[in-house]
Amino acid sequence: MKKTIAVYPGSFDPLTIGHEDIVRRIVRLVDHLIVAVAETATQTKSGLFPIDERVELIRSAFADEPRVEATSFSGLLVDFARAREARIIVRGLRAVSDFEYEFQMALMNRSLWPEVEVLFMAPATRHTFLSSSLVREVGRLGGDVTDFVSPLVKARMDRAFERPATD
Ligand code: PNS
């Protein structure tokens, strides 16, 4: 039987525990999940980690899960998904405020490649307020991000913001 392959695309700058929660939920439903860091994000953002480091952090976070692959891609998401034979694109939907942007992207992606389906996944309730951009800002301004990212990501953020590690 053909394997069910899904792509979970994003900027993942940085990977938050909200993203990790979504990955653990998707992987229960598919045979193989590609967590794909986009080199071209639709919304411009002030970056924290280089693409390769984001990929490496995702790999480390899911080192225990052989069905999760982390990689990056350039160009259109649908072209990447098609090349990898992944007919499912998964996006986390935290709140109604996400909906318009996500809905637009989903319909655009499906008009570019009609065979793809976009699935929206709800995170755990406690993660609904989390976003990479807020985590970046909190970290940059000296706030404690311990509750929002894994210890490895926190250590890298401390290093990026040139603060001594707390443990
Ligand atoms: O985590 P983000 O930044 O919200 O993810 C957005 C992402 C990476 C999924 C989107 O920007 C994307 O798909 N970029 C790849 C380029 C592309 O296909 N653009 C057209 C989207 S309809």
| pLDDT the model gives residue 164 | 56
Question: In this model, does residue 166 exceed pLDDT 80?
Answer: no
Cβ neighbour number for residue 23 with a 10 Å cutoff? 22
Q: What is the pTM of this model?
A: 0.94
Ligand 1 proximity of 41 Cβ (cutoff 6 Å): yes
Q: Does residue 4 or residue 2 have the better pLDDT?
A: 4
Binning pLDDT at 50, 70 and 90, where does residue 46 land?
confident
Amino acid letter for position 12: F
Looking from the CA of residue 80, the nearest atom of ligand 1 is 18
CA distance 49 to 57: 10
- Determine the straight-line distance between the first and last CA of the chain, rounded to whole angstroms: 48
> Phi and psi at residue 87, in whole multiples of 5°?
-95, 5
Neighbouring-strand partners of residue 9: 36
CA distance 8 to 159: 27
Give me ligand 1 centre to Cα 75, in Å.
Answer: 9
Token pair of 110, please?
């499906």
- The catalytic site residues sit at 19, 45, 94, 132
3-state class (DSSP) for residue 5? strand
- Candidate from 77, 98, 120 with most ligand 1 atoms within 8 A of CB, to mutate: 77
pLDDT digits (tens, 9 = 90+) for 64-90: 999 999 999 999 999 999 999 999 999
Helix (H) or strand (E) holding 51: helix 51-61
